[in-house]
Structure 1
Amino acid sequence: MNPIVAKIAIQLAAEAYKHRKKIIIIIISVLIFLLILFAAIFGSSDESKNDYPNISDEVMAFYPVVSNYAMVYDIPEYTDIILAIIMVETEGKQLDIMQSSESLGLPANSITDPITSIDAGIKHLAKVIKDAENRGLDFWTPIQAYNYGGGFNDYVASNGKQYTFDLASSFAADKSNSNVVPYNNPVASFNGHWRYSYGNMYYVKLIQQLIGGASDIGNVDASPLGGDNYQALMSEAIRYDGWSYQWGGESPRTSFDCSGLTQYVYNSISYGLPRTAAEQYKATIRIAEPQPGDLVFFKGTNPSRPANSITHVGIYVDNTRMFDASSSGIGYHNWSSGYWGKHFAGFGRVFK
């Protein structure tokens, strides 16, 4: 090889090695851009549209980017939540697509690159999720914290460790000095179409509406009840999401306690259950690997009963979530860590 050519080649190789990280980032960015362009031109696959029926084509065009960064920040199971966040924030129609400028300490809409916005937004979401997990908080608190900031994790940690709409409202009231503004979104119809001027206290409700169906209730096809039965079970249960807990309650007329809720919703699909958590524990089959629609049981949550007594029950949804009636209200709660994790007693399969 010509000595001059060889020298130039060595110099180029050295420069390439010196700037290898920048080159890799540029290559990845180009590949991601091409994926977005391909999705925008040819549309999302029918399978993706079926998986996310409430997500617009504009947002689904960014699915490859969202999926990639969800894996980078180790929260791939939150892909549906992230797509819903984009829908709530911008519907995919602004450059700062996840409205994540402020998470970087910048003024709103400072980010002018959607990929940078997604990177920053998912990084922020992953941070508040990991913080919530470390504190034993529930599934929905960090989702609201995406909108409010990490301070909402602190607030919930000091007020029962379980998200409720009332906590989201009181946090916004504190931050806004109780100033309210009109809010005509249908999600606020039950509350008179207003919100506090800090953040959006309906944020979790908006996300829940968008992810709906199978995305929200775990793997429907894996349920031992059968997909249709499990869908019907959870459709009935979710009707009472956000209702207050009522000791001894066993119907919509009174609201529910834990076993009253499970008995009522399982009866709605013709699966008979006895009345109390302890009786339901005895009436179900012990299993080691639960699936959606099984029951998850807890012991020692009532100081007036023996420590090993079964005192609470919820509907198993996935490896962190159950749907139950507890003192923090009816809804999704984290069964695997925090208070409930310490009192976990086992799983039970319901059968006819």
Structure 2
Amino acid sequence: MDVVTVKVALTIGQKVVKHWKKIVLIVLSFFMFLVIGVMMLVGGDSGNSGTAKVNDAVMAWKPVVSQYAEEYGVPDYVDVLLAIIMVETGGAGLDIMQSSESLGFPPNTITDPIVSINAGVKHFASVVKSAKSNGLDFWTPVQSYNFGSGFNNYVKSNGKQYSFDLASDFSKNLANGRKVKYSNTVADFNGNFRYGYGNMYYVLLVQQYLSPAGGGDIGNADASALGTEAYQNLMNEVMKYNGWPYVWGGSGPKAGFDCSGLVQYSFKKLGYNLPRTAAEQHTNSIPVAEPQPGDLVFFKGTNPSRPAGSITHVGIYVDKQRMYDANNGGVGYSNWNQGYWKQHFAGFGRVVK
């Protein structure tokens, strides 16, 4: 082997080492196109894995999404990023994350899915970093992916906690109140309109492609007295409203929820006809000493206008630490066995048909 051949070989080797990640992603991209093409031919479009309830075309890009999520410091958002792709294109477009506008280009300028994912994850990571530095919640940067980082600042100035009302108000202000028709089931509760800036339903759209079932967030579903599938369906339903504000007297998505309204509404989806108030639900459930996921956890004395011993609050038992409920802090997980809730704990109940 002559000197020139050796130098050429060494140069190629150095380039490969320097750019190995890009080379791997290019090869992976080619492989993904082949896989997606095969899946489209055989009609596969409903695959599930982990906590992301997305189709096979989107799930095929999970290795690339994971690679960039790790690189940009948001590995805990991989499933959210897959759900974002599902919302944006369903895996069908070349600008798969609709990232062109985040780079200052017209929509669909990007024609390489890997470039789109790189730009999309990088943009998302920037709003997550901004949210974390300002003490904001998990969902605000998801909405900011659609609205832009200005929504982070808006939430920072209005309680530091995402809610649909904040997203709606932000969109309304920037659209000067202009409404457009929005025929999407996620907007059924709100009259099927949106304001003409971004999409105020973005978090709700993303959440519909996320399932708590695979991520361990809902406790041991197999132990539920409701049955594994029913309990998963129950939690899928209540988590649609994660982060929504507490609404006294609210018993459905159109009005919002209070504690017993959330329980009554979500159990009705499973075929259970529960009464309306926490006290009535307590009376109509079977007391249990060893609760399982999907049982109810009751509290007394949380309403000063009622007798101290009366049942005034209810949540859905998840595990030894957590319940899912609607309280003055909003809809979401709470710790039932410590602090305020431990002081007012009244017992557990099992729902029966």
TM-score (norm 2): 0.68
Structure 2 unpaired stretches of 5+? 280-286, 304-311
Alignment match, 2:100: 101
Alignment match, 1:91: 90
Alignment match, 1:185: 184
Q: Name the stretch that deviates more: 137-146 or 113-122.
A: 137-146
1:9 aligned to 6, 11, 21, which one? 6
Alignment match, 1:280: none
Aligned equivalents of 1:295, 1:72: Cα separation in 2:
42
SS in 2 for 1:43: helix
Aligned equivalents of 1:98, 1:21: Cα separation in 2:
27
* CA distance 1:111–1:184, change in 2 (3 Å): same
Aligned equivalents of 1:133, 1:227: Cα separation in 2:
35
Matched AA of 1:32: L
Tell me how far 1:255 sits from its aligned partner.
6.7
Aligned equivalents of 2:25, 2:199: Cα separation in 1:
32
* CA distance 1:150–1:294, change in 2 (3 Å): farther
Q: Name the stretch that deviates more: 171-180 or 13-22.
A: 13-22
Matched AA of 2:47: K
Alignment match, 2:282: none
CA contact (8 A) 1:233 1:269 kept: no
- After TM superposition, list the pairs within 5 Å mapping 1:242-257 onto structure 2: 244-246=245-247, 257=258
CA contact (8 A) 2:221 2:231 kept: no
Alignment match, 1:308: none
SS in 2 for 1:210: coil
Alignment match, 1:172: 171
Aligned equivalents of 2:79, 2:5: Cα separation in 1:
50
- After TM superposition, list the pairs within 5 Å mapping 1:277-292 onto structure 2: none
Tell me how far 1:245 sits from its aligned partner.
2.0
1:31 aligned to 27, 30, 41, which one? 27
Deviations 1:169-197 (A, max 9, x none): 11111212222222222322333332211
Aligned equivalents of 2:265, 2:89: Cα separation in 1:
39
Tell me how far 1:95 sits from its aligned partner.
1.6
Aligned equivalents of 1:317, 1:120: Cα separation in 2:
37
Deviations 1:158-215 (A, max 9, x none): 1112211111111111212222222222322333332211111111121222335636
Aligned equivalents of 1:194, 1:266: Cα separation in 2:
28
Q: Name the stretch that deviates more: 57-66 or 111-120.
A: 57-66
Tell me how far 1:25 sits from its aligned partner.
3.7
Say yes or no: does 1:111 pair with 2:105.
no
* CA distance 1:269–1:292, change in 2 (3 Å): same
CA contact (8 A) 2:68 2:118 kept: yes
Tell me how far 1:144 sits from its aligned partner.
0.7
Q: Name the stretch that deviates more: 143-152 or 258-267.
A: 258-267
CA contact (8 A) 1:139 1:334 kept: no
* CA distance 1:49–1:219, change in 2 (3 Å): farther
Matched AA of 1:205: L
* CA distance 1:104–1:138, change in 2 (3 Å): same
SS in 2 for 1:195: strand
Aligned equivalents of 1:334, 1:161: Cα separation in 2:
17
Q: Name the stretch that deviates more: 42-51 or 201-210.
A: 42-51
| Length, aligned pairs only | 330
Tell me how far 1:33 sits from its aligned partner.
1.8
Q: Name the stretch that deviates more: 161-170 or 12-21.
A: 12-21
Alignment match, 1:21: 18
CA contact (8 A) 1:43 1:61 kept: no
Alignment match, 1:305: none
- After TM superposition, list the pairs within 5 Å mapping 1:287-326 onto structure 2: 323-326=324-327
Alignment match, 1:227: 228
Deviations 1:228-266 (A, max 9, x none): 46325425645866765245x5966x9755588579979
Alignment match, 1:63: 62
Alignment match, 2:206: 207
Matched AA of 1:21: K
Q: What fraction of aligned residue pairs are identical, expressed as a percent?
A: 49
Aligned equivalents of 1:18, 1:255: Cα separation in 2:
58
Tell me how far 1:105 sits from its aligned partner.
3.1
Tell me how far 1:39 sits from its aligned partner.
2.1
Structure 1 unpaired stretches of 5+? 276-282, 303-310, 337-341
Alignment match, 1:73: 72
CA contact (8 A) 1:36 1:64 kept: no
- After TM superposition, list the pairs within 5 Å mapping 1:259-270 onto structure 2: none
Aligned equivalents of 1:130, 1:350: Cα separation in 2:
40
TM-score (norm 1): 0.68
Aligned equivalents of 1:316, 1:157: Cα separation in 2:
31
* CA distance 1:79–1:39, change in 2 (3 Å): farther
SS in 2 for 1:324: strand
